[in-house]
A and B are shown apart, each in its own frame.
Chain A
Amino acid sequence: DVQMTQSPYTLSASVGDRVTITCRASDSVDGFLAWFQQKPGEAPNLLIYEASRLETGVPPRFSGSGSGTEFTLTIDGLQPDDFATYYCQQYDSYSRGYTFGPGTKVDI
């Protein structure tokens, strides 16, 4: 099974900062990589799919890039509403399974 890692584990930032989170896969994920935001007490919210495509309704300050085994989520101009935990997720077309990264908490 493909294993996912994220760095950093936690990230302290300020409003207006540019923030980058990295996600690495143990094997190529063929671009089937998504990013989610989760706030305490809420379900995850899809931000990015297919590594770089912005989900409808998500602010353009969020962007994704990468391919193969290394991907990044960038928040350009952090807003107060962005303090949350971010997860990457891959879909394995061979096993038809999904694996989430361990999460990155963005706080003040």
Chain B
Amino acid sequence: AQSVTQLGSHVSVSEGALVLLRCNYSSSVPPYLFWYVQYPNQGLQLLLKYTTGATLVKGINGFEAEFKKSETSFHLTKPSAHMSDAAEYFCAVSLTLNDMRFGAGTRLTVKP
């Protein structure tokens, strides 16, 4: 079965600094990969997803992620953090269309 590991339950960056949230997956076949963001007291919102094709995926709010099969990774990055990026971020993996597995999440704090 597929699984996801998010390295670091809490990441803190300064406003304007690079954001890097790490995600590694375990899967026996090429998976679909997702990043979701969750703001306080809200549901999850899709940031971006990788299905097939180009391994560098661009999402909303300036985020992007790169699928690296050799490293089984799908790290999320943003060149310059904004205060509004403070939230919980979840990486997820699925093999078929409906069996999504989520990581434990990484809480991003942005310092002024």
A and B are partners in one complex rather than unrelated chains: no
Instruction: Point out residues on B near A: beta carbons under 8 Å.
Output: none
